[in-house]
Amino acid sequence: MTAKYGFTIEKEERIDEIKSDATLYKHSTGARLIHLKNEDNNKVFTIGFRTPPPNDKGIPHIVEHCVLSGSRKYKTKEPFMDLSKGSMQTFLNAMTFPDMTIYPVASRNDKDFKNLTDVYLDAVFFPAIYENEKIFMQEAWHREIFNEEDPIKYVGVVYNEMRGAYSTPEALLYLGTQRAQFPDTIYVNDYAGDPYAIPDLTYEEFQNFHKRYYHPSNSYMFLYGDMDIDKYLEHIDKDYLSHFKYQDPKSKIKPQNPFTERRYMEQFYNITEDDSTENKDYFILNYTFGEVGNLEDYYTIALLSEILIDSDAAIIKNAILENELAEDVMVFDFQYAQNKFSIIAKNAKHENKDKFIKLIEDTLKDTVKNGIDKKLLEASINKLEFDLSEGGSFPTKGIIYYQKMMDFWLHDHEPFSPLKYKDTIKLLRDKLHTDYYEKYIEKNFINNNFQSFLNLRPKKNFSLKRDK
């Protein structure tokens, strides 16, 4: 197809589920861009990058903070804060995930939206971090001392944030499940930053990460709503992409090889000397199965989260609570380069960890043998379909759509698929009166060795021991 402003159309189609015309573009630099054209005046722009963390120093998180602290065009100290106070934005944020970093903005005002888009593009491609080392020192870490007799302190926005995060078990759960289930991949590294590793990060290492990953060839851009797309393509090319040439960022994430047996891992979190360790354990059983990029797996996993854990009638949650093995039960069903389904028991007694595993195994076997209640299945399908049709009732729906597409797009799968849910929901509904769901559980939970168990345990003054 003919290129326009360096962009070539790779795919066009109507997505009835979200009342949008979808176009996938590829720029000569390798930059990818999706436009969802519709009548929504709450326009969205997002740019994302695949940002695999190479270690525990929190480089993806620190770069996210730093690029929003001034750029080539926008010289103020904190453009992000200026925008949050002075623009008509309906959404303004930046988010770091285990394998990507995204910068979403939204506005109903055309002029404001164009300005927001420009500020974010300038921030990610031409930040002030190369001329001003103080940005790195402020956001990452630096040493601080006011009196000779005082000990040297480490401070920094991200460093301080992660000191706080590492004092709570919840923050360690996410990383712990990744380390248990994906031990030979980049997911073992803390993208947000281990406060004991952050001070090892050098200014040069930080800059090199930005140069490598914050490049058009590694970017995933998104425009949503009622707009003149040609004007935006021209602006993005002329002011930004035309300053770069294609380069291979070598950012593709390699998958974890499956296990031949369940892995076991133990990890600790901090409590004070006065706190009790009784009934403070977390038990997490992780499974990996299915195929990323497969819609049937994608929505079956969402259904099983509801059926097994999330709903009032959830099979596994109720079994755990009725047997008093924990105070609460949660599920993580996040999409990485591979699927991960984590069953989490909160505030459990340490000696009950084997009972927890056996109860889940027995409950799943009983479920396969006796079948899932059809009313529970149907209610879960109805809820899933309603949630999908409402865009999660989020006012800036474009951001929800971008994140759904990134589940597939980031890992080189067709990005429009997660938005086209009607045929898959119909397929799952048609399987309501078959043994599809029981067979799925049998194959992917009961007869699946690609699983791990994490025991997150309280330890008195654990942070103080690490400080020493």
Enzyme catalytic residues: 64, 139
Residues 6+ apart with CB under 8 A from 175: 190
Asked whether the CA dihedral 56, 61, 67, 69 is positive or negative, the reply is negative
Specify whether the CB–CB gap between 349 and 279 falls below 8 A: yes
- Please state the separation of Cα 34 from the chain's center in Å: 19
Counts of helices then strands in the chain (DSSP H, E) = 16, 15
Residue whose tokens read 């939204």: 106
Identify each DSSP E strand in 190-260 by its residue range: 219-224
- HEC secondary structure over 357-399: HHHHHHHHHHHHHHCCCHHHHHHHHHHHHHHHHCHHHCCCHHH
Phi, psi values for residue 259, rounded to 5°:
-85, 155
Angle at 232 between CA 227 and CA 238, to 5 degrees: 170
* Separation between Cα atoms, residue 222 and residue 48, nearest integer Å: 9
Helices marked H in 227-373 — which ranges? 229-239, 295-305, 315-322, 353-370
Q: Any idea what DSSP says for residue 118?
A: H
Cα–Cα distance between 203 and 140 in angstroms, integer? 9
Which residues lie across from 358 on neighbouring strands? none
Round to whole Å and give the CA distance between 370 and 380: 18
Structural tokens at position 106:
């939204």
b/e 439-459 (16+ beta carbons within 10 angstroms → b): ebbbebbeebebbbbbbbbbe
CB 65 within 8 A of CB 161: no
Distance CA 334, CA 221 (A): 22
- DSSP label at residue 411: T
Q: Tokens at residue 276, please? A: 């009790």
> Residue 134: CB partners within 8 Å, gap ≥ 6?
none
